[in-house]
Amino acid sequence: AFDMIQANTFGDAHLFQPLIDAVLRGGDVYLLSVDFPSYIEAHKAVEAAYRQHDEWITKSILSVARMAKFSSDRSIQEYAEEVWNIEPAPVSG
């Protein structure tokens, strides 16, 4: 992807140089550029699966049906109790 940027594929490469410098010179703390090829491969697999319309619908329904109950309130409460070890604060209304 950096080669394409530097080849002016998306416009003046000079405009993108700070971005490239940030990633290649220690700014890629989450290693996004390292994972990018596997991201592209995963995206291609998703695109191929999506083209199989009936199979995609089946997978989508099964995915939702197999999900556990999710509640952001429950999740935050669990983090507060188990990770942060804090008590709820009273809220006046």
pLDDT in tens, 23-43: 888 777 777 777 888 988 999
| CA 3 from centroid of its chain's CA atoms | 23
Q: For position 28, what pLDDT does the model report?
A: 78
Q: How far apart are CA 86 and CA 55, in angstroms?
A: 45
Contacts of 16 (CB under 8 A, 6+ apart): 5, 6, 10
Please provide the average confidence, as pLDDT, over all residues in the chain. 87
Name the residue type at position 14. Answer: H
- Range from 4-8, 25-29, 47-51 carrying the lowest mean pLDDT: 25-29
Instruction: Give the global pTM.
Output: 0.47
pLDDT tier at 87 (50, 70, 90 boundaries)?
confident
| CA 67 from centroid of its chain's CA atoms | 19
